[in-house]
Structure 1
Amino acid sequence: MSTREEILGAAQRRLNLDPTSSMADIAAAAGIGRATLHRHFSGREDLLTEIGARSLDRWEERLDAARVGDVCSSDDADRLRATLVTLLGQYLEDSDDFGFALTDQFVLAEPTLTARGEALAEREIELFAAAQAAGVLRDDVSPRWISQACYGLLVAARDALRAGDVPRRDLDTVVASFFLHGAAAPGKPL
């Protein structure tokens, strides 16, 4: 019999491939019947809420492991840059697992998940503001804009992987470079 964790993993993988998957599709992907799936989750919304919470758990774990608060108070540009690059790589790794949660409208609008996501975003925005103050990131835009751009880049990276536009082995470098330097050709003025 599949455990709740195994079912959630199978559901995430299925929804990452096809966000419109039905509960029957998800049950089949988990190798269980619909009745078993419904013993674990009362319905699709319950399942999506759990996947969203898992996504937020991972985000929080990444911020905690990076010791974002300590990094922000250090004012060390090299440490800030290294933390940004590391977090971007980890976010990309996580988007392989949680890509569905990045764009699902139910997950993005569920009040409990939204409130928690906003609190985590504030921690990340603090990191971006510290990186701006240290000269690592441009300071002519708000740190909230940088946060939105980071999110957009993660969604773009997920979509590029799905389309086969960027090999997974190159994605961390491409995204970090794009995040830190933009789309401009190196050494070329705007």
Structure 2
Amino acid sequence: MNSRDDIVTAALRHLNVRPTASTADIAEAAGISRATLHRHFASRDDLLREIGLRSLEHWAGVQESTGMLAATASGDAARIRTCAEEMLRQLVVSADDYAFALVDEYLYALPEIGARTEELFELEVAFWAAALQAGVVRPGLTPRWVAHASYGVLVACREALRHGDVARRDVPDLVLSTFLHGVSA
């Protein structure tokens, strides 16, 4: 396992469990020497930056593959709802695969990651504004609040998986039903 992709994948898997892991710990978890890790990444910060950028690529990929921009532009309630459901289901994978990046504040402080995060977030705010306008989301909420709420449910997903509180196979339906219907009886 000496490819950069393999190292990033192994590092992310380890950081999802031990977010404060040192580069020595990360290298050991990846089955490589620290020297090999440092040949690919000069520092832990460089590795974290790469993980952050990949998580954003995945988020952008979800927005693209679900047709979020087209659904936003359509204003069609059925299309927007279908997109929202598929987007949340796909983002469950992100919340699990990129759990570390989902909640690491250090990453958001990096200018290129912070700026890209804001771009992607604003696209989702526009999507949720269209969902509100089309009646997919209940009135009285702001698009920004709905976007933050969707993120919050994904963080809950991450935590529930991390603590073993839910079965992995149940998570997509739990996230979707919690987001769309809440938790009240």
TM-score by length of 2: 0.97
SS of aligned partner of 2:145: helix
Pick which of 66-75 and 92-101 moved more: 66-75
Letter in 2 for 1:59: W
Q: 1:112 maps to what in 2? A: 112
Match of 1:155 in 2: 155
Is 1:4 the equivalent of 2:4? yes
1:166-181 counterparts in 2 under 5 A? 166-181=166-181
Other-structure match for 2:127: 127
Following the alignment from structure 2 to structure 1, what is the Cα–Cα distance between the partners of residues 154 and 10?
A: 22
What's the CA shift for 1:30?
Answer: 1.1
Partners of 1:92 and 1:145 lie apart in 2 by: 19
Alignment RMSD: 1.0
Q: Deviations over 1:9-64 (max 9, x none)?
A: 00000000110111001101111100110111111111100000000000111111
- Calculate the TM-score normalised by the size of structure 1: 0.94
SS at match of 2:83: helix
Structure 2: which 5+ runs fail to align?
Answer: none
Counterpart position of 2:78: 78
How far has the Cα of 1:139 moved from its partner?
A: 2.4
What is the aligned partner in structure 1 of residue 68 from structure 2?
Answer: 68
Pairing 1:25-44 to 2, within 5 Å after superposition: 25-44=25-44
Could you tell me which amino acid in structure 2 is paired with residue 99 of structure 1? A
Which contiguous aligned blocks of 4+ residues in structure 1 show a shift greater than 4 angstroms?
Answer: none
Q: Secondary structure at the match of 1:35?
A: helix
Cα distance in 2, alignment partners of residues 48 and 78 from structure 1: 39
Identity of matched residues, %:
50
Q: Do structure 1's residue 57 and structure 2's residue 63 form an aligned pair?
A: no
1:20 is paired with a residue of what secondary structure? Answer: coil
Equivalent pair of 2:2/2:36 in contact (CA under 8 Å): no
Q: Which amino acid aligns with 1:111?
A: P
Aligned-partner Cα distance in 1 for 2:96–2:183: 23
The unaligned stretches of length 5 or more in structure 1 are 186-190
Counterpart of 1:46, as a letter, is: D
Distance across 1 between alignment mates of 2:73 and 2:116: 23
